[in-house]
Amino acid sequence: MDMKLRPFDFAQAAARAGLAVNGQPLAPKPAATAGASFGDAMSSALKAVSAQQTDAARLQREVQLDNPTVSLEETMVAMQKAQIGFQATLQVRNRLVSAYSEIMNMQI
């Protein structure tokens, strides 16, 4: 089997991450809106994690189909990002359940 690796382009990888070559953000982050609620923040975070998982699954499928435009390295990084996002989401959920249980067990 003939495997071709593309050279790593640090500037392109930094641009994908939204960073300049020196590691600084390309654009300042927008300030939080006054009307944003916790539910909205959780919803957008869950959508982002879901999108990462979908992207990782798509890249994995493309690698399995021997698509020459998709590198194994890119796929592995996407899979790790999706896994880290899922683990962070799971930890937040566990903390929320724990806090809810503590509140419900408080005596009035």
Give the per-residue pLDDT at 47: 93
List, in order, residues 6 or more apart from 71 with CB less than 8 Å away. 5, 6
C-alpha 106/C-alpha 42 separation (Å) is 25
pLDDT tens digits along 28-46: 656 555 567 888 888 898 9
The Cβ-side half-sphere exposure at 1, using a 13 Å CA radius, reads: 4
Helices (H), the chain: 10-16, 38-64, 72-105
Give the per-residue pLDDT at 11: 73
Give the per-residue pLDDT at 25: 75
- State the 10-residue block means of pLDDT for the chain, 108 residues long: 65 73 68 70 90 94 90 92 93 93 88
Domain boundaries, the chain: 40-108
